Structure 1
Amino acid sequence: MRGRGKGPLIPLLGRRARLRWVHLILGGALFMPYWLVGTVVMGLVAEDGGSLFGASLSAQFGAYAVGLPLAAVTALFPLTRPMSVAAVRALCGIADDPLAGDRLADGPARGRSAKARTAGWFTLHLGVGALISGATLALPPFAVTVMALPFSPSLQESAGAAHWGLHRPWLQWAGLPAGLLMLLALTAAAAASGALLARQAPRLLGPGPADRLAAAERRAAELAVRNRLARELHDSVGHALSAVTLQASAARRVLDTDVEFVREALAAIEETTRRTVGELDSVLGLLRDGEDDGELPAPRLDALDALARGAGRHVELTVTGPLDRVPDAVSREAYRIVQEGLTNAARHAGGARVTARIALDDDELEITMENPLPDRAPVTRPGGGRGLRGVGERARLLGGTSEAGPLDAVWRLTVRLPLGPARAGGGR
Structure 2
Amino acid sequence: MTLLFGRRARLRWLHLIIGGALLMPYFLAALVIIGRLRPDPGPFSPLSHQLTAFVCALPMAAVTAFFAPARQLSVAAARALCGVPGDRPLADGPARTQQAQVRTVCWFTLHLALGGIVSGLTLAMPPLAGTIMALPFSQSMRDSRVFGLPEALDRPWILALLPFAGLAILVATAGCAALAGALLAGRAPVLLGPTPQDRLAAAERRAAELAVRNRLARELHDSVGHALSAVTLQASAARRVLDSDPEFVREALTAIEETTRRTVGELDSVLGLLRGGEDHGRSAATGPALDALDGLLERCGVSVSCAVRGDTGTVPAAVSREAYRIVQEGLSNALRHGGHGVPVELRVTVRAAELAITMDSPLPERAAVVRPGGGRGLCGIAERAVLLGGRAEAGPHDGGWRLAARLPLRTTGQESR
Shorter-chain TM-score above 0.5: yes
1:58 pairs with one of 48, 52, 57: 48
Write out per-residue CA displacement over residues 183-206 of structure 1, whole angstroms, 9 at most, x where no aligned residue.
444333323321221011112333
Q: Residues 322 and 128 from structure 1, CA distance in 2 versus in 1: closer, same or farther, beyond 3 angstroms?
A: same
2:415 is the counterpart of 1:423 = no
More deviation, 370-379/283-292: 283-292
2:254 pairs with one of 267, 273, 280: 267
Equivalent pair of 2:319/2:411 in contact (CA under 8 Å): no
Tell me how large the CA RMSD over aligned residues is: 3.6
2:8 alignment counterpart: 16
Distance 2:308 2:383 in 1: 23
1:247 pairs with one of 234, 237, 243: 234
Distance 1:83 1:253 in 2: 71
2:396 pairs with one of 386, 389, 406: 406
2:28 pairs with one of 30, 36, 40: 36
What's the secondary structure of 2:91's corresponding residue? coil
Q: Residues 426 and 401 from structure 1, CA distance in 2 versus in 1: closer, same or farther, beyond 3 angstroms?
A: same
Equivalent pair of 2:103/2:191 in contact (CA under 8 Å): yes
Q: Residues 272 and 138 from structure 1, CA distance in 2 versus in 1: closer, same or farther, beyond 3 angstroms?
A: farther
Distance 1:148 1:270 in 2: 96
Structure 2, unpaired ranges of 5+ = none
More deviation, 332-341/173-182: 173-182
What's the secondary structure of 2:404's corresponding residue? strand
**TM-score, scaled relative to structure 2:** 0.82
Q: Residues 117 and 361 from structure 1, CA distance in 2 versus in 1: closer, same or farther, beyond 3 angstroms?
A: closer
More deviation, 235-244/351-360: 351-360
1:368 alignment counterpart: 358
Distance apart, 1:388 and its partner CA? 2.4
More deviation, 177-186/20-29: 177-186
2:320 pairs with one of 331, 345, 362: 331
Matches within 5 A, 1:277-426: 277-287=264-274, 290-293=277-280, 294=282, 295-312=284-301, 314-317=303-306, 319=308, 323-351=312-340, 352-360=342-350, 364-378=354-368, 383-384=373-374, 386-419=376-409, 422-426=410-414
More deviation, 215-224/71-80: 71-80
Distance 1:27 1:333 in 2: 58
Amino acid of the residue matched to residue 88 of structure 1? A
What's the secondary structure of 2:20's corresponding residue? helix
Write out per-residue CA displacement over residues 148-190 of structure 1, whole angstroms, 9 at most, x where no aligned residue.
7799999788652446789999999977666555444433332
Distance apart, 1:125 and its partner CA? 1.0
What's the secondary structure of 1:103's corresponding residue? coil
What's the secondary structure of 1:239's corresponding residue? helix
Write out per-residue CA displacement over residues 95-136 of structure 1, whole angstroms, 9 at most, x where no aligned residue.
343xxxx13234416345x55443332222111011112223
What's the secondary structure of 1:311's corresponding residue? coil
2:112 alignment counterpart: 126
1:228 pairs with one of 215, 218, 229: 215
What's the secondary structure of 1:291's corresponding residue? helix
Distance 1:281 1:180 in 2: 73
Q: Percent identity?
A: 61
Q: Residues 276 and 138 from structure 1, CA distance in 2 versus in 1: closer, same or farther, beyond 3 angstroms?
A: farther
Amino acid of the residue matched to residue 413 of structure 1? L
Write out per-residue CA displacement over residues 248-285 of structure 1, whole angstroms, 9 at most, x where no aligned residue.
22112112212232233233333333433443344345
Distance apart, 1:44 and its partner CA? 5.0
2:182 pairs with one of 195, 200, 209: 195
Amino acid of the residue matched to residue 129 of structure 1? G
What's the secondary structure of 1:411's corresponding residue? strand
Distance 1:95 1:288 in 2: 36
1:5 alignment counterpart: none
Amino acid of the residue matched to residue 327 of structure 1? P
Amino acid of the residue matched to residue 186 of structure 1? T
What's the secondary structure of 2:251's corresponding residue? helix
